[in-house]
Amino acid sequence: MKTRTLGNSQLEVSAIGLGCMGLSHGYGPATDRQEAISLIRAAVERGVTFFDTAEVYGPYFNEEVVGEALAPLRERVVIATKFGFTFGDDGKQQILNSRPEHIKWAVEGSLKRLRTDAIDLLYQHRVDPDVPIEEVAGTVKQLIAAGKVKHFGLSEAGVQTIRRAHAVHPVTAVQSEFSLWWREPEREVLPTLEELGIGFVPFSPLGKGFLTGTISASATFGKDDFRSVVPRFSPEALQANQALVDVLGVIAMGMNATPAQVALAWLLAQKPWIVPIPGTTKLNRLKENLGAASLQLSESDLSRIASALAQVEVHGDRYPAALQARVGR
């Protein structure tokens, strides 16, 4: 597995990481604990050194599984996790909370669940409008000085927030959705990150599974699957967006690759400091995704993809309105 460095930070990770959220959160029932541990360790065996989790995934269960899986391999891997929420009486309602005292409390819990002395990369999961980002960055700076955290990150933050945070303490990475069917970061976020020397970690790089070509226009999703409330996965949108998968499939066939591999290789080709974190619960999909790291797209390949994309209009918002309000702040 090739490696990449996240911006100017010197934090070196595998060119493709593993997003662990789906093992316990967001896409249906949680994966069996031992199966999840086996998958994570299989990723390490195949060269993955970058693993992404968060306290909110579960909540808490995901960090516990990642911690157990990677404890024997800790010196070989980089673990990223996130703070930024408290939970309602049902244990699931997510309430934004980035107050300094809560950040410190959350980090203690994450350290314990991850079975580690230090978190390699700590993200603010979503910007909290009630807490100045300078206070958040200052708190993480204190945690870094105390040796409990090594690098500071932001998730789904707007460019002004990124700049303000970076002025207090260098931001190593920004994590946001980015893929062939969600290219909004190209407008402002990527130029800002390049200017400041910050790495970029795209989540949902395969469009929450859609870009794999395995989700039909008639697909339905259970109540415990986040996609059941995402406008982009409504029956009408799935039907309309099939055109993108069809184009991707034709391109992939010509390269003796899969649509997923082309989608990931396209991300890798955008900037050398971009590290996508596709998630999966299946070993065969893990192998397929990692194969994208060795797929080189030429300038003509990229031009062909760009021309094809220009002819496809993607339908449907990527989040329900309430969740969309939390991004880009």
Separation CA 221–CA 165 (nearest Å)? 38
Q: What is the helix (H) or strand (E) element at residue 112, kind and residue range?
A: helix 100-114
Question: Rounded distance, CA 188 to CA 192, Å?
Answer: 6
Q: What's the distance, CA 264 to chain centroid?
A: 13
Asked if 57 is an active-site residue, the reply is yes
Q: Which two tokens stand for residue 49?
A: 């050194």
Q: What is the 3-state secondary structure (H, E, C) of 202-266?
A: EECCCHHHHHHCCCCCCCCCCCCEHHHHCHHHCHHHHHHHHHHHHHHHHHHHHCCCCHHHHHHHH
Number of neighbouring beta carbons within 10 Å of residue 34? 11
Catalytic residue chosen out of the listed positions 27, 57, 123, 319: 57
Residues 6+ apart with CB under 8 A from 180: 207, 211, 244, 248, 263, 266, 305, 309
Active-site annotation, residues = 57
